C-alpha cells in the first residue's frame, strides 16, 4: 500500500531523537518520496528536491503540501509528453483535489490543521489518510498512466 511507503518518510525522523528536525520530511516530500518508491516513478534525488518548498502550505500555511505533493505525483504518472493538452492529467488532478477537499474540508494547510488535528498532534495521520486517497485516485485512473 502507498501508505506504507509514505509512513517510512513520516517516521524517518523518529530515529534521530534530539536532532529530529534535521531529518524531517514535510507532508509534500512524504507524499512524493513515498509515491516515487511505491509506483517506481524513477525520480532522481535532485528532482525530488523540487517538492521541498511546497511543504507546510508552501511554507506559508496556504495550499496544503499533501495536496501539492499528490499533484506532483499525478504529473509524474499522467502527464503526456509535450506538446499536448494533458486532458486526462487535468481530469485526474481535478478528481484528486475534489476527493482531498471532501476528506479534509479545505485545501488550506492552516485550516486543515485547525479542522482535523487534535491538540499536540502532528500531521502524520493526515498524511497517511491523504496517501490512501491518492492511491484510490491512481487506482481509478491506472489504465491512463503514461509513464
Instruction: List b or e across 49-76, with b for residues whose CB sees 16 or more CB atoms inside 10 angstroms.
Output: eebeebbbbeeeeebbbbbbbbbbbbeb
Q: 30-54 pLDDT, tens per residue?
A: 999 999 999 999 999 999 999 999 9
Q: 16-33 pLDDT, tens per residue?
A: 878 888 889 999 999 999
pTM for this predicted structure: 0.94
Amino acid at each position: 500500500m502507498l501508505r506504507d511507503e509514505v509512513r517510512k518518510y513520516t517516521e524517518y525522523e523518529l530515529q534521530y531523537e534530539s536532532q529530529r528536525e534535521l531529518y524531517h520530511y514535510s507532508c509534500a516530500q512524504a507524499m512524493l518520496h513515498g509515491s516515487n518508491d511505491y509506483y517506481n516513478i524513477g525520480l532522481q534525488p535532485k528532482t525530488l528536491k523540487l517538492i521541498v518548498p511546497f511543504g507546510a502550505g508552501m511554507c506559508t500555511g496556504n495550499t496544503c503540501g499533501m495536496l501539492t505533493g499528490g499533484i506532483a505525483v499525478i504529473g509524474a504518472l499522467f502527464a503526456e509528453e509535450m506538446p499536448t493538452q494533458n486532458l486526462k492529467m487535468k481530469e485526474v488532478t481535478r478528481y484528486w483535489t475534489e476527493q482531498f477537499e471532501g476528506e479534509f474540508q479545505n485545501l488550506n494547510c492552516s485550516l486543515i490543521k485547525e479542522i482535523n488535528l487534535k491538540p499536540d498532534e502532528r500531521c502524520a495521520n493526515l498524511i497517511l489518510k491523504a496517501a490512501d486517497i491518492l492511491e484510490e485516485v491512481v487506482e481509478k485512473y491506472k489504465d491512463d498512466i503514461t509513464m
